[in-house]
Amino acid sequence: MTFTTLLGLIGAILVNVAFLPQFIKSWKTKKTEDISLGMYSVYIVGIIIWLIYGVLIKDIPIIFSEIIGLTLVSSVLYLKLKYG
C-alpha cells in the first residue's frame, strides 16, 4: 500500500465518521425534524456518482469512502423518512 493510498483511506474514514454523531442522535432520540431531506437526498446522489467514478478508475480510497458514506448517509436518510 502506498503512502498516497493510505492517506486517501485515512481521509475517507475521517470524513465519513462525521456522520456517526447524527445517526446515533437520530437513532436514540427518534427525532429528525432538523435534518434536511433535500440535502441528504442530493448528497446520496453525489455519493453514488463518486462511487461509480471510483469503480471506473479503480481507486480504492474513493470506493472505500463512498461505500462507507453511502451506508452512513443512507442510514440517516432512512431514519429521517421513518421518524420525520
Going 78 to 16 to 40 to 64, the CA torsion angle's sign is negative
Total domains present in the chain: 1
pTM score, two decimals? 0.82
pLDDT digits (tens, 9 = 90+) for 8-55: 889 888 988 988 999 999 999 999 999 999 999 999 999 999 999 999
Cell numbers representing residue 59 in the block: 481507486
CATH code (residue 61)? 1.20.1280.290
> Residue 55 sits in which domain range?
3-83
Rounded to whole angstroms, how far apart are CA atoms 43 and 37? 10
Question: Phi then psi for 60, rounded to 5 degrees?
Answer: -60, -45
